[in-house]
């Protein structure tokens, strides 16, 4: 009863994926949460996905995670962002019904085999020297385990700021977690503070939507998950656009002395990519208006999320400035916006498996590693879970490469470079962006899923089936030619495509901008495959083959550095030509290979050269 293979602390987006992964892989798992009603709760905005984030949700899905299924099932508005851009930077985003999302997750964790959920507060880690042995709860109960995955989100030593008033707590309605981060700081962990914020929630009935512009989602729905039905389950609803104006800005400026951020009350570093409205108004003073989406938090929800207006000003000031905005003249707030300050652990203290270097058996995932965002958290939770399970099963670690997945980029960035502000994923962080697309996640990751048995046999069969169909479509395109004839030439003219000079392969025709697989049916191409899963991916890889090939070559070159392994026991003192700063950084990060070493900031190319020479010299010596 009080002995498990794995204990997961926290049932947010990271914790859910972690405990589902370990239990799915056959490890007996305990999930500890402070509040059963908030399993998988979306603390901030009501959507899943977006640019680079949609990519991660799909990667999580192929590797057996739950986030994609939950988002598909509870989607109330779907959009593919950047849809007019190239395929690599298109990102799926689903606005979800928050309540239903929570309920879905609650149901899934409650039903999972090998998984027990407890509503208790974790107070301390049970340590045996430098090994983690379990968790002691606030009531003094000891639960033992081989591995502990800490997914405490923004809850550790958390303080909420409502204006200059401070309240301990990691989220409105939930108390802070105390104990563990101090215990770990005593163990030598480097703990710092970050800050995040959330806007006010308004009462739907208090808003005059006729003064706002409606915005609907896309007609076409593409599910995140391979395991979801192709159709939406819930009715789709619009969002509403309103704007700030000079009057709004004036009120904000006049009250800056009541903003804890501007008075220096908040010490933690906030996300540059998600600034508060105070920040926007001061830093971009020349901008006379800022846009805000009013987003329903659910189909039946009375709550409206006022996007873009994150703030920590006092409630009275929030009322005052919000009421200057069209549609919000009589707005009533259910909950004002607020800022949260919380502890995070410098993620360079982790290895690529998300296990801490200091204490074996202890893993960190999610916001406690300095990230922001549901998807970033879920991705880490999943990989921490997989790796904890791999250790229990005495199997090899699963570390995704940067050219393989956004999740690989995420974790490598965290453990190699660390972060000084809440880390959010962006496509520009992926140097091999053109090959990390939503449409080819299956091609990229099915081997990892299969090799590590991360999904059930029936899902694996589905993967195999889809991959087989893609292969078949590629074969047909590469081997079928269209021959010039009166009929074919007429067809080309009708499609505004140049007529043929000589016979042409379907594959080459598909490269023409104006042609698609659908149009090539005219020339005998059979397209009864699934469009989302088979046709579109093949179409994209054909049309963009040139760019993809070029990127693949760069990847192959980069991989050479990836293959020069740095032995764990390498003494950087003995490597000549390193500065003491470089030695210190290399020692603390402990890069696995030369490529990772080269990404450590402050480690110069000459240092990489020096390490390489040292390794060669060692090789020669043996």
Partner 1 sequence: MFSTDRDQDTICAVATPQGASALAVIRVSGGDAETKVRKIAPALTAKLDSHRAYHLYLCDESGSPLDEVIITYFAKGRSYTGETSFEISCHGSQVIVEQILRSLVSAGARMAERGEFTYRAFMNGRIDLVQAEGILDLIESQSPQAAKAALNALRGELSGELRKIENDITWVLAQMEANIDFSSEDIVFTPVEEILLRLGNSKDALERLRASYKSGRALREGLTVALVGAPNVGKSSLFNKLVGEDRAIVSAHPGTTRDSIDAIKHVFGHRIRFVDSAGIRTTHDEVEKLGIDRTIGIATQADVILHILDSSESAPTSIDLEHLTAPVITVGNKADLLGLSDDLGRASSFAVDVLVSAQTGFGLDQLISLILPYAKSTVLDGGVTVQSARQFEAISKALNYLEAGEAALRGNQSPEFIAADLYAGLQELLALRGVCVADEVTDLVFREFCIGK
Q: How far is CA 315 from CA 162, 198, 322, 338, 600, in A?
A: 7, 13, 10, 9, 43
**Could you give the CA distance from residue 526 to residue 307 in angstroms, rounded to a whole number?**
45
Helix (H) or strand (E) holding 538: helix 536-543
Q: Out of 192, 561, 562, 593, point to the residue binding partner 1 (CB under 8 A).
A: 561
Which is nearer to partner 1, 335 or 583 (by Cβ)?
A: 583
The yes or no reply on residue 249 touching partner 1 (CB under 8 A) is no
Q: Provide the minimum distance between the beta carbon of 597 and partner 1 in the complex, in angstroms, as a whole number.
A: 9
Q: Out of 113, 231, 502, 620, point to the residue binding partner 1 (CB under 8 A).
A: 620
Query: What is the footprint of partner 1 within residues 42-81 (CB under 8 A)?
Result: 51-52, 81
**Could you give the CA distance from residue 158 to residue 154 in angstroms, rounded to a whole number?**
6
Q: What does 540-552 look like in DSSP terms, one character per residue?
A: HHHHTHHHHHHHH
The yes or no reply on residue 283 touching partner 1 (CB under 8 A) is no
Q: Out of 569, 576, 601, 622, point to the residue binding partner 1 (CB under 8 A).
A: 576
**Could you give the CA distance from residue 333 to residue 329 in angstroms, rounded to a whole number?**
12
Q: Out of 161, 433, 444, 592, point to the residue binding partner 1 (CB under 8 A).
A: 433
The yes or no reply on residue 547 touching partner 1 (CB under 8 A) is yes
Query: b vs e for 127-152, b when ≥16 Cβ sit within 10 Å of the residue's Cβ?
Result: beeeebbbbbeeeeeebebbbbbbbb
Largest CA distance in the chain: 85
Query: b vs e for 16-29, b when ≥16 Cβ sit within 10 Å of the residue's Cβ?
Result: bbbbbbbbbbebbb
Q: Which residues contact 521 (CB under 8 A, 6 or more apart)?
A: 527
Q: Provide the minimum distance between the beta carbon of 176 and partner 1 in the complex, in angstroms, as a whole number.
A: 32
Contact letters for partner 1, residues 322-361 (x by CB under 8 A): ----------------------------------------
The yes or no reply on residue 213 touching partner 1 (CB under 8 A) is no
Q: Out of 426, 459, 491, 495, point to the residue binding partner 1 (CB under 8 A).
A: 426
Binding segment for partner 1 (CB under 8 A), chosen from 54-62, 446-454, 493-501, 543-551, is 543-551
The yes or no reply on residue 614 touching partner 1 (CB under 8 A) is yes
Binding segment for partner 1 (CB under 8 A), chosen from 55-63, 145-153, 171-179, 573-581, is 573-581
**Could you give the CA distance from residue 568 to residue 360 in angstroms, rounded to a whole number?**
15
The yes or no reply on residue 82 touching partner 1 (CB under 8 A) is yes
The yes or no reply on residue 575 touching partner 1 (CB under 8 A) is yes
Q: Provide the minimum distance between the beta carbon of 291 and partner 1 in the complex, in angstroms, as a whole number.
A: 4
**Could you give the CA distance from residue 218 to residue 222 in angstroms, rounded to a whole number?**
10
Which is nearer to partner 1, 165 or 559 (by Cβ)?
A: 559
Which is nearer to partner 1, 89 or 265 (by Cβ)?
A: 89
SS3 content of the chain, % helix, strand, coil (to 5): 40, 20, 40
The yes or no reply on residue 167 touching partner 1 (CB under 8 A) is no
Here the tokens at position 46 are 């009501």
Residues that bind partner 1 (rule: CB under 8 A) add up to a total of: 43
Q: Provide the minimum distance between the beta carbon of 126 and partner 1 in the complex, in angstroms, as a whole number.
A: 43
Show the DSSP H helices in 563-599 as ranges. Answer: 580-589, 594-598
Is beta strand 159-162 parallel, antiparallel or unpaired with respect to 362-364? unpaired
Contact letters for partner 1, residues 86-105 (x by CB under 8 A): x-xx----------------
The yes or no reply on residue 239 touching partner 1 (CB under 8 A) is no
Evaluated on CA atoms 533, 538, 540, 541, the torsion sign reads positive
Q: Out of 431, 462, 472, 562, point to the residue binding partner 1 (CB under 8 A).
A: 431
Dihedral (Cα; 37, 38, 41, 44), 10-degree rounding = 120
Binding segment for partner 1 (CB under 8 A), chosen from 82-90, 193-201, 259-267, 378-386, is 82-90
Which is nearer to partner 1, 104 or 280 (by Cβ)?
A: 280
The yes or no reply on residue 440 touching partner 1 (CB under 8 A) is no
Nearest to 114 by CA among 392, 353, 461: 392
The yes or no reply on residue 427 touching partner 1 (CB under 8 A) is yes
Q: How long, in residues, is the chain?
A: 622
The yes or no reply on residue 608 touching partner 1 (CB under 8 A) is yes
The yes or no reply on residue 188 touching partner 1 (CB under 8 A) is no
Q: How far is CA 31 from CA 19, 28, 360, in A?
A: 7, 10, 20
Q: Provide the minimum distance between the beta carbon of 498 and partner 1 in the complex, in angstroms, as a whole number.
A: 18
Nearest to 55 by CA among 364, 366, 432, 415: 432
Binding segment for partner 1 (CB under 8 A), chosen from 142-150, 400-408, 439-447, 606-614, is 606-614
Show the DSSP H helices in 175-235 as ranges. Answer: 180-186
Binding segment for partner 1 (CB under 8 A), chosen from 83-91, 193-201, 227-235, 322-330, is 83-91
Q: Applying CB under 8 A, which residues contact partner 1? A: 51-52, 81-82, 84-86, 88-89, 290-291, 426-428, 431, 433-434, 547, 550-551, 554, 560-561, 574-577, 579, 594, 598, 604-610, 612-614, 616-617, 620
């Amino acid at each position: 009863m009080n002995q498990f293979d794995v204990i997961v602390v926290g049932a947010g987006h990271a914790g859910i994926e972690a405990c589902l992964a370990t239990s799915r892989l056959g490890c007996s798992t305990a999930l500890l949460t402070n509040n059963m009603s908030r399993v998988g709760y979306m603390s901030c905005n009501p959507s899943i996905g977006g640019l680079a984030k949609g990519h991660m949700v799909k990667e999580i899905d192929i590797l057996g995670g739950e986030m994609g299924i939950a988002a598909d099932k509870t989607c109330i508005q779907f959009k593919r962002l950047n849809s007019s851009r190239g395929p690599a930077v298109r990102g799926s985003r689903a606005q979800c019904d928050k309540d239903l999302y929570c309920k879905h997750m609650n149901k899934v964790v409650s039903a999972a085999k090998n998984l027990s959920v407890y509503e208790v507060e974790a107070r301390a880690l049970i340590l045996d020297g430098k090994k983690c042995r379990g968790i002691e709860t606030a009531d003094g109960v000891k639960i033992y385990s081989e591995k502990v995955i800490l997914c405490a989100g923004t809850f550790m030593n958390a303080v909420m700021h409502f204006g200059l008033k401070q309240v301990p707590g990691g989220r409105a309605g939930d108390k802070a977690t105390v104990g563990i981060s101090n215990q770990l700081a005593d163990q030598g962990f480097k703990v710092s503070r970050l800050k995040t914020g959330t806007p006010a929630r308004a009462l739907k009935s208090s808003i005059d939507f006729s003064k706002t512009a409606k915005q609907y989602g896309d007609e076409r729905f593409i599910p995140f998950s391979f395991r979801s039905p192709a159709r939406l389950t819930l009715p789709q609803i619009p969002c509403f656009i309103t704007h700030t104006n000079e009057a709004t800005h004036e009120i904000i400026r006049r009250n800056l002395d009541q903003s804890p951020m501007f008075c220096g009350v908040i010490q933690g570093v906030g996300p540059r990519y998600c600034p508060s409205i105070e920040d926007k108004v001061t830093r971009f003073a020349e901008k006379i208006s800022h846009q805000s989406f009013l987003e329903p938090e659910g189909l039946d929800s009375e709550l409206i999320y006022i996007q873009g207006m994150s703030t920590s000003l006092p409630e009275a000031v929030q009322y005052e400035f919000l009421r200057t905005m069209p549609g919000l003249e009589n707005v009533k707030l259910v909950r004002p916006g607020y800022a949260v300050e919380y502890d995070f652990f410098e993620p360079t203290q982790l290895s690529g498996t998300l296990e801490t270097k200091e204490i074996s058996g202890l893993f960190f995932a999610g916001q406690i590693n300095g990230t922001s965002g549901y998807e970033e958290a879920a991705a880490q939770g999943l990989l921490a879970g997989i790796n904890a399970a791999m250790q229990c099963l005495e199997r090899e670690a699963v570390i995704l490469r940067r050219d393989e997945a956004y999740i690989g980029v995420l974790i490598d960035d965290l453990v190699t470079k660390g972060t000084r502000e809440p880390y959010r994923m962006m496509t520009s962080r992926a140097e091999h962006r053109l090959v990390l697309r939503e449409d080819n996640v299956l091609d990229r990751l099915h081997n990892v899923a299969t090799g590590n048995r991360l999904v059930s046999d029936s899902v694996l069969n589905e993967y195999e089936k889809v991959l087989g169909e893609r292969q078949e479509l590629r074969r047909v395109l590469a081997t079928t030619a269209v021959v010039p004839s009166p009929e074919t030439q007429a067809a080309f003219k009708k499609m505004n495509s140049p007529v043929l000079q000589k016979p042409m392969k379907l594959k080459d025709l598909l490269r023409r901008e104006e042609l698609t697989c659908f149009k090539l049916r005219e020339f005998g191409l059979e397209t009864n495959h699934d469009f989302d899963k088979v046709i579109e991916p093949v179409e994209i890889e054909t049309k963009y083959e040139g760019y993809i090939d070029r990127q693949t070559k760069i990847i192959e070159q980069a991989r050479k550095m990836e293959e020069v392994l740095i032995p764990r026991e390498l003494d950087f003192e003995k490597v000549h030509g390193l500065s003491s700063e470089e030695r210190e950084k290399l020692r603390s990060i402990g890069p696995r290979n030369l490529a990772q070493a080269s990404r450590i900031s402050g480690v110069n190319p000459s240092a990489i050269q020096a390490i390489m020479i040292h390794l060669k010299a060692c090789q020669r010596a043996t």
